[in-house]
Chain A
Amino acid sequence: MEELMIRCRHLALVLAAAVVASIPLAAHHSFAMFDMDKDVTYKGMVTEWKWQNPHVHFTVLVKHGPGVDLQTVGTWDVEGGSVNIMARQGWTRASYKAGDPIVLVGHPMKDGSKGISLFYAIRPDGTRLYHDIARPKDDVKKGDGK
């Protein structure tokens, strides 16, 4: 019976180790990996649209072309905030869907992998859909963010 106790304690330690070992895996889309100081503009097409809590996600395909910034080319995983927070900024489930063109400004991953933390999208009429209440520090134009 005492042996069972010792085994159980070992099991608990093994489980703990398993969880700790999974931390590097978990780091992939952690917030800390985005370069929050960089604002990059991406012009492409929405290929996947997930309007769901806890984070709105969509995939954007940026193709090669004249005038296209090379660093923005590729398929990007864009992460937004919660449905509740984005809805407050004017986003809806119908804001975009797969196949729609999109222009967005966001913060890319520091390690170069194709992830973006959404800052705002720019609608065809020029108004902005912000992800949350944060606004550009040097933004002189007023009244753009609904």
Chain B
Amino acid sequence: MQQFSAWVESTRLSQALFDTTWLWPACESLHFVGLCMLIGGAGLLDLRLIGLFRGLSIRDVKALMPWAIAGFVINAVTGLLFLIMQPHLYLGSAVWWSKVAFLAVAATNALFFESRLAVPALALAPDADTPRPLKIVGAVSLFSWFAALYCGRMLPYLGTGN
């Protein structure tokens, strides 16, 4: 891993990006904005899936999803930039890989919802309580996004190694 990181950091792309002084802080700011968009949009849907906010139909809440996805895309792009600029901070870190795992769980969970549970969910009445599978999907989603946030923010303190 250390060799791969060293190789990436020796590339012209990596150096040109990292030498652009304002880029790293700008990516950090965008990464925070993106996570607020993501947790705001996906969070409301997740809370509705759990059974809160009854009176809002799932169909109506899903109208916000493009914005949550936009937040996710912003974070995927800025995340990739961090990785290209300073891979050694991440690739050898158990904390970072944990973050990736939580993100993978969140994404898989969302895709599972979309492909298997969305149709009956959309048919629910606005006031209806949600069946257990939806509650689980919502809870897993919320937990995973916040767990990813925790891992990311704690990285400079929990360690860049094992």
Q: How far apart are B151's CB and chain A's nearest CB, in angstroms?
A: 15
Q: CB-CB < 8 A to B9: which residues of A?
A: 36
Residues of A close to B19: CB separation below 8 A: 32
- What residues on A are CB-neighbors of B99 within 8 Å? none
8 Å CB interface, B59-109 against A: 88, 92
Q: Mark B5-29, 1 if CB is under 8 A from A, else 0.
A: 0100100000000111111111000
* Interface membership of chain A positions 4-41, coded 1 if the CB is closer than 8 angstroms to chain B and 0 otherwise: 00000000000000000001001100111100100000
| Given contact pairs A26-B25, A30-B24, A88 touches B159 in the complex (Cβ within 8 A) | yes
Which of these, A27, A81, A84, A134, contacts B22 with CB under 8 Å?
A: A27
Q: Which residues of B contact A36 (CB under 8 A)?
A: 9
A32 close to B88 (CB less than 8 A)? no
- Contact digits for B27-41, partner A, Cβ 8 Å, 1 yes 0 no: 000000000000000
Q: How far is the CB of B82 from chain A (nearest CB, A)?
A: 12
Chain B interface, DSSP helix/strand/loop, else mixed: helix
* CB closest chain-A residue, reference B18: A32
Residue B130 lies at the interface, judged by CB distance under 8 Å to chain A: no
The reply on A142 being an interface residue by CB < 8 A is no
CB within 8 A of B88: which of A23, A88, A134? A134
Q: From A26, A31, A84, A133, give the contact of B157 (CB < 8 A).
A: A84
B21 interface neighbour in A30, A54, A88, Cβ under 8 Å: A30
Whether a CB of chain B sits under 8 angstroms from the CB of A137 is yes
Query: Which residues of chain A are near B159, meaning CB under 8 Å?
Result: 84-85, 88, 133
What's the Cα separation between A139 and B144 when bound, in Å? 40
Query: CB distance A133 to B156 under 8 Å?
Result: no
Would you call A132 an interface residue if the criterion is a C-beta within 8 Å of the partner chain's C-beta atoms? Answer: yes
Does B133 make an interface contact (CB < 8 A)? Answer: no
Closest to A19 in B: B29
Q: Which of B18, B25, B157 contacts A82 (CB 8 A)?
A: B157
| Residues from chain B with Cβ under 8 Å of A133 in the complex | 92, 159-161
Residue of A with least CB distance to B9 = A36
15 extra interface residue pairs, beta carbon distance < 8 Å, beyond A23-B26, A53-B157, A134-B88: A23-B22, A27-B21, A27-B22, A30-B24, A30-B25, A31-B24, A33-B21, A54-B156, A81-B156, A82-B157, A84-B157, A85-B157, A132-B160, A133-B160, A133-B161
Q: Chain A residues in contact with chain B, CB under 8 A?
A: 23, 26-27, 30-33, 36, 53-54, 81-82, 84-85, 88, 132-134, 137
